[in-house]
Amino acid sequence: MNLTENLSQLKASQEEMLTILFIGDLFGKSGRRALDRYLGTLQQNFSVDMVIVNGENSAGGIGITPAIADELLHNGVDVITSGNHIWKYKEIFSYLDSTNRLLRPLNYPAGAPGKGFVLYTTRSRRRVAVLNLSGRVFMDALDCPFQAADHFLEKVRLGRDVDAIIVDMHAEATSEKGAMGYHLDGRVSAVLGTHTHIPTADQQILPHGTAFQTDVGMTGCYRSIIGMKAESVMPRFLRQMPTHFEQAQEEGTLCGSVVRLSLKDGLCRSIQPVRAGGALSATALAPV
């Protein structure tokens, strides 16, 4: 290692950092149990400043209830993001209007209950903007997520108004998630994908400093078809028959990523996926 590399590493080690744990697609009871089992360990080992969880499938595999949202917020989750399944239970409509810690995608039309972003103050008094977006490819025909993000960033700027900006890009198409990553590169701290329930291995820091991963994965049972019992799903594929999906109940895997952000500019210095429990191979549960 040459002198320049040594100085660069020394400078990075001296930077003041903000560490955020982002957990993907909490799915039913198995996902909630995995979160309960591993969240405290991850918070302690990584010295986590803030926890964000996508909770849109936390109630029986589709939707979220006020009771579950309250439980998550009481047990260590700071902000809950969501997606197209947020509207499953009608009682969540008024709940969304009563809190800013459960989000629905920002690019729903005006008048939809709730908010698509929050400006959250961590226990260390750092300001973090969390932005929830929904894709449109193979999904509902919502307002443009790219324009919605641009309009938000006209008002809230990284480094000026907040210390970090985390984007949950809830989308079906990997190309649309990747496009959002490059569109926001250098303007937000991280663009992390949800919705497809399968963790991808493309975690990286984009050229202008934004952390990106196409999908952080589902927190739930992987002895399943994206969280549902295989036997309840197979008739749809084999015979094109309608069927009642049932959530899988075996041990769940917690899937997420830890991003470490510089408080100097709000951009990413490292992104580390974490997996624990259940059927998937585990990753390190401490910084590497």
Q: Which residues are catalytic?
A: 85
Taken in order 158, 167, 284, 64, the sign of the CA dihedral is: positive
Give the H/E segment covering residue 107.
none
Helix axes 66-74, 91-98, angle to 10 degrees: 40
| DSSP assignments along 171-238, one per residue | -S-HHHHHHHHHHHBTTBSEEEEESS-S--S--EE-TTS-EEES----BB-SSSBTTB-HHHHHHHHH
